[in-house]
Amino acid sequence: MRHPLEAFGPVLMPDAAMEPILAKPVRAALLEWLEEIWAKAELEEVGLNARMRAIFTGPPGTGKTTLAHHLAARLGLPLLIVRPEKINCRYMNASAEAVGKLFDMVAAQPEPIFLFFDEFDSIAAKRMGSGVNETIEQDHNVTINALLAAMDRFEGFIVAATNLGSRVDEAVWRRFEIQIGIDLPGPHERQRIVERYIAPFVIPKAALAALAHSLETASPALIRSFCEHIKRQIVVGPKAGWPMDRNAVIERVIATVKPHPDIGLPRLWSLGLKDKAVPQFPWPLERDLAAYPVDEPVSAGGDVVPLRRGRSA
Amino acid sequence: MSKREATAVGRNTISGRILMAFIERIERIRDQKKQLAEDEKLVFAESAATGFDNKTIRNVLRRRAAKPADVEEAESMLDLYLHAIGMATETPLFRSVGNMSVDLAARDEVIEAFKQLVPTEGEIIVKIGKQPVRLFRDENGVAQAEDIIEKPTAASKPASAVTSRPKRDVPDVDRLGARALGATAYRENQPITSNPFPWDDERRQEFDGGWREASGTDGMGPEDD
């Protein structure tokens, strides 16, 4: 059955949530927030309110939406992902009206809704007064003012995510009680992301660590894309008659999956097949760790670089 | 001219001269008419060059020349005939209804026309123009009309939202039991979000806590080594 709020974007139920993969300080902050929400009654006794609003900033593909969904699922609430184009309307004043309508509808629901604004900078960009296009600027300012007023009367959970935190209006930003920056994953998170997306295949621990090291500065979305391309090659490659040795497959994958030029090139991409994670990458991939040969070269000596001076390799 | 003059002069009678004067006056007027017709043609040519449709302009000229009452009568007759043979695009009544929002007199006319259509049991609500009108018959059978002031409908909670989420079976346990359920869920490899307690149930956090305790993590995957 269609949820009435789906006029503003998809509504996700708690049972479809995934675990977010996050760095330690962020995880601690989030767990603290969850505990705080659950301790609402005790906080009220000492005259405090539980914080209800958070804004996540960080580069694209770092799992902000996954995180919001996980939080909503931990609390047991449906998550409404508000789509910016449902708020920004083509007519004068209609955007402000849509903001008011959204908050009124959410408030009228019998159970709370976890309100999630994705790409928040497109809704809550700074108010403008350049005078270059006064009508549009005024309409935008009216929308932001409506948003501020709506946020002040709203008593539920609001989470917003944006790539460009600096573009969000200051007054809107101030109304979020928690501001969390979600950065690119660290080495440990990268290992976990590879594990998740390479499944059902598994990679031995040493090779996994080497791969995670070579994937430094990669976003979760890029790592996911890399893993999925490898799996796709395993399925499609033999049918297409491509060479299926390790180097050929990895070369094809890194040729078709590339990070955004501004994010920085992980080592696997800059070195290509010369990267030391490549010879350690188990091939063919197995679904069980026990299936890999025991005498697989261990990474302990992996850093030895053969001398090439005076000799053509 | 010299030839005619010659004959007229040649007769040398008074009536001949008077007649000649009349004829010459008519000839002059005809010349002028010819000249004016030429001028009119020029004006039409000019308007056509500007991009106007001369056929329509002639139509307008004809209408302006005619008496207003005659125009109205001719139009209503035309409407009537067209309607009779099924060619009318818009009946006069509907046209008047269309004018209702701009013309108060038209509005009154429409209301009067509709009054004749009001059934004995039942009513007509006309909602064209700014203000809807309700037409009904009072107890004496006389048609009456009154404006309807629309009241905003009271906001009602959508019923579908309540039913949109299937109610889950909530286990009948106390807080400690919920904690144990969470631990069991972890051992059975169920995700932490499989919590069966609703959001406002204090057992929800116990389940969550039990799961975290059993796994030794914060529920967001394994910790750093």
- Three-state secondary structure string covering A236-300: HHHHHCCCCCHHHHHHHHHHHCCCCCCCCCCHHHHHHHHCCHHHHCCCCCECCHHHCCCCCCCHH
- For residue B158, the model assigns a pLDDT of 45
Would the CB atoms of B160 and A13 count as touching at under 8 Å? no
CA angle B110, B114, B117 (to 5 degrees): 160
CB pairs under 8 A between A and B: 79
As a whole number, mean pLDDT of residues B109-134 equals: 79
- For residue A299, the model assigns a pLDDT of 52
- Chain A residues whose beta carbon lies within 8 Å of the beta carbon of residue B218: 27-28, 30-31
Same domain, A111 and A10: yes
Between residues A180 and B158, the one the model is more confident about: A180
Find where tokens 């000229």 sit: B61
The DSSP output letter for A64 is H
In which domain, by residue range, is A267 found?
187-289
- Judged against a pLDDT cut of 80, whether residue B114 lies above it is answered with yes
* pLDDT tens digit sequence for A254-294: 888 888 887 788 888 888 888 888 888 888 888 888 888 76
For an interface test with B, give the residue of A67, A77, A104, A111 to mutate (most B CBs within 10 A): A111
Same domain, A276 and A256: yes
As a whole number, mean pLDDT of residues B62-70 equals: 91
Same domain, A10 and A113: yes
- Chain B residues whose beta carbon lies within 8 Å of the beta carbon of residue A19: 191-192, 219-221
Coil, helix or strand at residue B101: coil
Average pLDDT in chain B: 80
User: How confident is residue B163, by pLDDT bands cut at 50, 70 and 90?
Assistant: very low
Question: How far is Cα A10 from Cα A81, in angstroms, rounded to an integer?
Answer: 6
- Judged against a pLDDT cut of 70, whether residue B11 lies above it is answered with no
Q: What are phi and psi of A202, to 5 degrees?
A: -130, 155
- For residue A1, the model assigns a pLDDT of 57
Written as six digits, the tokens of A65 are 């939406």
- Out of A71-75, A276-280, B129-133, pick the least confident: B129-133
Asked if residue A154 is part of any domain, the answer here is: yes
Average pLDDT in chain A: 85
Would the CB atoms of B225 and A75 count as touching at under 8 Å? no
Asked if residue A95 is part of any domain, the answer here is: yes
Residues whose CB is less than 8 angstroms from the CB of residue B218 and which lie 6 or more positions away in sequence, other chains included: A27, A28, A30, A31, B212
Which of A149, A181, A213 is where one domain is finished? A181
Same domain, A163 and A201: no
Same domain, A43 and A101: yes
Q: How far is A145 from chain B (nearest CA, A)?
A: 24
Residues whose CB is less than 8 angstroms from the CB of residue A101 and which lie 6 or more positions away in sequence, other chains included: none
Q: What are phi and psi of A61, to 5 degrees?
A: 75, 20
Same domain, A153 and A71: yes
Query: Which amino acid appears at position A126 of this protein?
Result: K
Q: What is the CATH number of the domain that holds A123?
A: 3.40.50.300
For residue A251, count other CB atoms closer than 10 A to its CB.
15
Percent of chain A with pLDDT over 90: 19
* Residue A57 parent element (H or E): strand A53-57
Asked if residue B107 is part of any domain, the answer here is: yes
The strands making up B133-137's β-sheet, listed across from edge to edge, are: B124-126, B133-137, B143-147
Question: How far is Cα A80 from Cα A68, in angstroms, rounded to an integer?
Answer: 10
Residues whose CB is less than 8 angstroms from the CB of residue A309 and which lie 6 or more positions away in sequence, other chains included: none
Which of B108, B132, B147 is where one domain is finished? B147
Least CB-CB distance to B199: which of A1, A24, A76?
A: A76
Would the CB atoms of A76 and B204 count as touching at under 8 Å? yes
Q: How far is B127 from chain A (nearest CA, A)?
A: 26
Percent of chain B with pLDDT over 90: 20
Q: How far is CA A223 from the centre of its chain?
A: 12
- For residue B160, the model assigns a pLDDT of 44
Written as six digits, the tokens of B216 are 């030794």
Asked if residue B86 is part of any domain, the answer here is: no
- List residues in chain B touching A: CB distance below 8 A: 155, 157-158, 160-165, 191-195, 197-199, 202, 204-205, 208, 218-225
Same domain, A175 and A212: no
User: How confident is residue B75, by pLDDT bands cut at 50, 70 and 90?
Assistant: confident
Question: How far is Cα A173 from Cα A166, in angstroms, rounded to an integer?
Answer: 9
As a whole number, mean pLDDT of residues B19-35 equals: 94
In which domain, by residue range, is B95 found?
91-147
Asked if residue B141 is part of any domain, the answer here is: yes
Instruction: Give the total number of structural domains in chain A.
Output: 2
On whether the CB atoms of residues A197 and A223 are closer than 8 A, the answer is yes
Question: How far is Cα B14 from Cα B18, in angstroms, rounded to an integer?
Answer: 6
Least CB-CB distance to A15: which of B155, B162, B193?
A: B193
Would the CB atoms of B161 and A28 count as touching at under 8 Å? no
The DSSP output letter for A88 is S
* pLDDT tens digit sequence for A205-229: 888 888 998 888 888 889 999 999 9
Same domain, B7 and B58: yes
Maximal CA-CA distance, chain B: 145
* pLDDT tens digit sequence for B169-218: 788 888 889 999 999 988 888 888 888 888 888 888 889 989 988 888 88
Least CB-CB distance to B219: which of A28, A74, A111?
A: A74
Would the CB atoms of B223 and A3 count as touching at under 8 Å? no
Coil, helix or strand at residue B196: coil
Asked if residue B124 is part of any domain, the answer here is: yes
Which of A163, A181, A199 is where one domain is finished? A181
Instruction: Find out whether the peptide bond into A10 is cis, omega within 30 degrees of 0.
Output: no
Written as six digits, the tokens of A12 are 């996700």
Same domain, A193 and A150: no
Between residues A296 and B168, the one the model is more confident about: B168
- Chain B residues whose beta carbon lies within 8 Å of the beta carbon of residue A76: 195, 197-199, 204
Would the CB atoms of A108 and B157 count as touching at under 8 Å? yes
Q: How far is A181 from chain B (nearest CA, A)?
A: 17
Would the CB atoms of B193 and A17 count as touching at under 8 Å? yes
Asked if residue B81 is part of any domain, the answer here is: no
The beta-carbon contacts of A201-204 under 8 Å, at least 24 apart in sequence, are A201/A231, A201/A285, A201/A286, A201/A287, A202/A285, A202/A286, A202/A287, A202/A288, A202/A289, A203/A281, A203/A282, A203/A285, A204/A282, A204/A289, A204/A292, A204/A296
Asked if residue A107 is part of any domain, the answer here is: yes
- Judged against a pLDDT cut of 90, whether residue B22 lies above it is answered with yes
Same domain, B186 and B225: yes
Instruction: Give the total number of structural domains in chain B.
Output: 3
Percent of chain A with pLDDT over 70: 93
On whether the CB atoms of residues A79 and A117 are closer than 8 A, the answer is no
Name which of A113, A155, A150, A147 is nearest A127 in CA terms. Answer: A147
Least CB-CB distance to B220: which of A15, A19, A110?
A: A19
- Chain A residues whose beta carbon lies within 8 Å of the beta carbon of residue B160: 1-4
Q: How far is A226 from chain B (nearest CA, A)?
A: 21
- List residues in chain A touching B: CB distance below 8 A: 1-5, 13-15, 17, 19-22, 24, 27-28, 30-31, 34-35, 38, 70, 73-78, 108-112, 188, 192
Q: What separation in angstroms does the CA of A83 have from each of A89, A123, A125, B179? A: 12, 9, 15, 37
- For residue B223, the model assigns a pLDDT of 66
- Judged against a pLDDT cut of 70, whether residue A86 lies above it is answered with yes
As a whole number, mean pLDDT of residues B50-55 equals: 92
Would the CB atoms of A74 and B194 count as touching at under 8 Å? no
- Chain A residues whose beta carbon lies within 8 Å of the beta carbon of residue B204: 38, 75-76
Which of A136, A159, A181 is where one domain is finished? A181
Same domain, A261 and A241: yes
Which of B62, B80, B103 is where one domain is finished? B62
Number of H helices and E strands in chain A, helices first, is 13, 6
Between residues A271 and B92, the one the model is more confident about: A271
DSSP for A114-170, written as a single string: EEEESSGGGTSBPP---STTHHHHHHHHHHHHHHHHHHHH--S-EEEEES-GGGB-H
Asked if residue A300 is part of any domain, the answer here is: no
Question: How far is Cα A127 from Cα A13, in angstroms, rounded to an integer?
Answer: 34
- Chain A residues whose beta carbon lies within 8 Å of the beta carbon of residue B203: none
Question: How far is Cα A213 from Cα A266, in angstroms, rounded to an integer?
Answer: 9
Least CB-CB distance to B220: which of A22, A78, A188?
A: A22
* pLDDT tens digit sequence for A20-51: 888 888 888 888 899 898 888 888 888 888 88
Would the CB atoms of A76 and B165 count as touching at under 8 Å? no
